[in-house]
Amino acid sequence: MKMKTRSFRQARVDKMDTTVDRLIEYFVLTKKVEGRSAKTVEWYTGMLGQFYKFLSSDGHSTCIRDLMLEDGRDFCFPTRSHDTLRESPP
């Protein structure tokens, strides 16, 4: 009986459909396996959880395929407007 194999491209497409919360789970698990301290894992979990909360509450997509650099900037600099950054100083 032949097993159906997935192409590299199909596997890559599947990964792009992964959501941020799933990636956070993988990342935190990896840090635990690597032997990071409980405090470090807790910090990662909290900070990444805030990012996920930001995405899901602000109408951003949580699928990694849809993530943009601006999503990260909006999270890091919530009071700044990107247009303001491009303007020259008065």
- Give the CB-side neighbour count of residue 29, counting CA atoms within 13 A: 6
Which residues, other chains included, contact 21 with Cβ-Cβ below 8 Å and sequence gap of 6+?
52, 62
Domain extents in the chain: 14-76
End-to-end CA distance of the chain: 72
CA-based nearest residue to 48, from 81, 70, 77, 26: 26
70-79 contacts, C-beta under 8 A, 24 or more apart: 75/50, 75/51
For 1-27, write each residue's pLDDT tens digit.
Answer: 555 566 655 555 577 788 999 999 999
The residue type at 43: W
For 41-80, write each residue's pLDDT tens digit.
Answer: 999 999 999 999 999 987 888 999 999 998 888 889 876 5
